[in-house]
Chains A and B, each alone.
Chain A
Amino acid sequence: MDDKNIILCRCEDLTREAILQCIESGCRTIDEIKRVTRAGMGPCQGRTCRMLIAQELSAYYKVPMEEVLMPTFRPPTKPVSMGVLADACREGGAE
């Protein structure tokens, strides 16, 4: 099947097949899919896959895109090394 060769989440190397399996097994939100598959947890933090997954949810559950629940957005917006955070902590900048 083609779905095996369609990548939706580049960072975590997740195919459309994997995301659809996840939806068919009962996942209803982007956050649920994220917890099961790690979709959106890579370096780009979901900027590539988020709306592609939202489209799949919209099509499967027949809800308009306006109503597809977005995931929770938390800092940081990009990966930060532990060393940087440790330095900041030592200097009182990351309490």
Chain B
Amino acid sequence: MIREVEILVAGGGPAGLCAAAAAASLGAKVLLCERSDVPGGQLVKQTHKFFGSEKQYAGDRGIHIGRTLADAAVNHPNIEILTDAAVLGIYEDGVVTVLYKNQHLKIRPKRTIVATGAAEKFLAFPNNDLPGIYGAGAVQTLMNVHGVKPAERVLMVGAGNIGLIVSYQLLQAGVEVAGVIEAAPRIGGYLVHASKLRRAGVPIRTGYTIKEAYGNGKLEGAVICRLDENWKPVPGTEEDIRCDTICLAVGLTPLAELCWQAGCQMAFIRELSGHVPVVDGNLETSIPGLYAAGDISGIEEASAAMVEGRLAGYAAAGSLGYEPQKAGELRQGAAEELAELRSGPAGARIMAGLEKAAALLAARKGGAGPC
């Protein structure tokens, strides 16, 4: 039996929850499928305060933002949320399959919004499979969601915002942070996060990489070394760092497999951190009726994911005939909010990536390629 649905949202993180709420506010009926047992996505473990403007809940902690968004969606009469519901596939005819608890569901939505977020990147170095080597996000989950002290002494690899924030939260949990190393010549995350670590006496070393991990059956330490301007290790700069845990915070990559399956036009765009579906101003992919919002169309912060979700939700509901004029205005408002969010220096990289994507979109729409 195939269930008919107006709008299906895949993913209950900031983008998916906002997409559902936006579409439902215009009158559309939404089914949201979330893989884990609670909606909120990665917000459920963000114990720090967010930046941005009031519209994106700046000053509030991520964990509270997630709860606010989830409560609003759960209480909305037009939204049904399935948790423990992983979207398995999107087929040529638009049918979507879902593993819901122990059932295999088939759904035919009129519109689908893919908001599946991102995954942590892994790093290749000798002995990178020793127990004690984690993604930084996984350690953050252990600590902030499950209340498990994940380590005694940690080496953090990566000084982007995730590496810096998780390092600070490790300190808060009573874990020693041996240091943060970063291959790039400068710290990638916000200075405010880096400063908190430095004030606590944690060294942050740029231009350093991990040469190897070592240990007998489990991690006992790591050898780090300096990189030259061509990213080559400098011999003689090796240092031994004793630690029982290494956290890899070397970036995220979009979780776009549903878009690949559906046959969307995809592109590898470095500035967006990997392969992304090429979307138009409504965040609609090359497959009509299939939208992509949040980290899946380029790694950004949760604030941008929320606004993208709203934009896709308004666009999808409007295209189904729900208050099309109002939907258009709201969509336009969200687009302006995104432009504002990306206008600072931190948004320059994203803007460069989006320009590349826009060029690919123009080539497609212009009919330059074979049809």
B-contacting residues of A (Cβ < 8 Å)? 2, 5-8, 10, 13, 16, 45, 47-49, 51-52, 65-66, 68, 70, 73-78, 80, 83-85, 87-88, 91-94
Contact = CB atoms under 8 A, between A and B. Distances in A.
A65 B255 CA distance: 17
A78 B97 CA distance: 12
Contacts of B253: 51
B124 A80 contact: no
Interface stretch (B23-31, B38-46, B84-92, B286-294): B84-92
Contact of A70 (B1, B105, B125, B266): B266
A7 B89 contact: no
Main secondary structure of the interface of A (DSSP, over half): loop
- Which of B104, B128, B261 is most buried by chain A, counting CB atoms within 10 A of its CB? B104
B270 A75 contact: no
Given A10-B129, A51-B253, A84-B102, A77 B1 contact: no
Contacts of A13: 129
B56 to A, nearest CB: 28
Contact of A47 (B89, B119, B127): B119
B212 interface: yes
A75 B241 CA distance: 43
Interface residues of B, number: 36
B59 interface: no
A84 B86 CA distance: 14
Nearest to B99: A80
A6 B128 contact: yes
Given A5-B127, A78-B86, A87-B104, A51 B99 contact: no
B248 to A, nearest CB: 11
Nearest to A79: B99
B126 A2 contact: yes
A52 B1 contact: no
Contacts of B129: 7, 10, 13
B89 A76 contact: yes
Contacts of B190: none
B257 A65 contact: no
Contact of A92 (B1, B212, B257, B267): B1
B157 to A, nearest CB: 15
Interface in B1-57: 1
B258 interface: yes
12 contacts: A5-B127, A5-B212, A6-B125, A10-B129, A75-B91, A78-B88, A87-B103, A88-B106, A92-B1, A93-B104, A93-B105, A94-B106
A75 B88 CA distance: 6
Contacts of B226: none
Among all A-B residue pairs, the 8 with the closest Cβ atoms = A75-B89, A88-B104, A73-B260, A76-B88, A7-B129, A5-B126, A2-B126, A66-B268
A77 B96 CA distance: 12
Nearest to B266: A70
B192 to A, nearest CB: 30
Nearest to B259: A73
Given A10-B129, A49-B122, A84-B102, 5 more contacts: A2-B212, A6-B128, A47-B255, A77-B261, A94-B106
A77 B88 contact: yes
A10 B133 CA distance: 12
A65 B261 contact: no
Interface string B316-334: 0000000000000000000
Nearest to A7: B129
B94 interface: no
Contacts of B125: 6
A66 B91 CA distance: 26
Contacts of B274: 51
B65 to A, nearest CB: 26
Nearest to B258: A77
A71 to B, nearest CB: 9
Interface string B243-264: 0000000000101011011000
Contact of B1 (A6, A65, A87, A91): A91
A65 B268 contact: yes
B275 interface: yes
Contacts of A85: 104
B121 interface: yes
B104 A94 contact: yes
A51 B124 CA distance: 11
